[in-house]
């Protein structure tokens, strides 16, 4: 299992621009054969914008089930967990409505 450490990008992950940059680095790992551990240890804030751009936009190229098969999350605080879950729900709703 590979580990992708979000702390390397800061304690406060807040902008879409940062989310896009991180997603571009994360995407090749997720496409590989190994499962990727998304490690949020040491990250205090994950905004809705970052969560959508970095995590939820992965649903444009794979299903939620595929995302779950290729990743696991660790080290999330409650605030970050809620924002990521909300971003995923909103993205799935938008895709279903399109």
pLDDT tens-digit profile of 81-97? 999 999 999 999 998 88
For residue 64, pLDDT beyond 90? yes
Count structural domains, the chain: 1
- Tell me if the pTM is above 0.75: yes
What range does the domain containing 48 cover? 2-97
- Residues with Cβ within 8 Å of 74's Cβ and at least 6 positions away in sequence, in order, are 37, 38, 39, 40, 41
Q: 6-57 pLDDT, tens per residue? A: 999 999 999 999 999 999 999 999 998 899 999 999 999 999 999 999 999 9
* Separation between Cα atoms, residue 24 and residue 20, nearest integer Å: 6
Is the model's pLDDT at 58 over the cut of 80? Answer: yes
Q: Indicate the DSSP class of residue 47.
A: -
Cα R_g (the chain), whole angstroms:
12
DSSP state of 33: S
Give the pair of three-digit tokens for residue 89: 């729900």
pLDDT higher than 90, residue 98: no
Q: Which residues pair with 12 in a beta bridge?
A: 45
């Amino acid at each position: 299992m590979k580990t992708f450490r979000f702390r390397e990008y800061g304690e406060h992950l807040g902008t879409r621009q940062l989310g896009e940059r991180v997603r571009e680095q994360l995407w090749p790992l997720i496409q590989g054969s190994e499962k990727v551990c998304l490690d949020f240890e040491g990250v205090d804030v994950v905004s809705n914008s970052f969560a959508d751009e970095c995590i939820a936009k992965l649903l444009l190229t794979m299903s939620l089930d595929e995302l779950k098969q290729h990743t696991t999350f660790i080290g999330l605080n409650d605030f970050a967990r809620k924002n990521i879950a909300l971003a995923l729900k909103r993205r799935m709703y938008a895709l279903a409505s399109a």
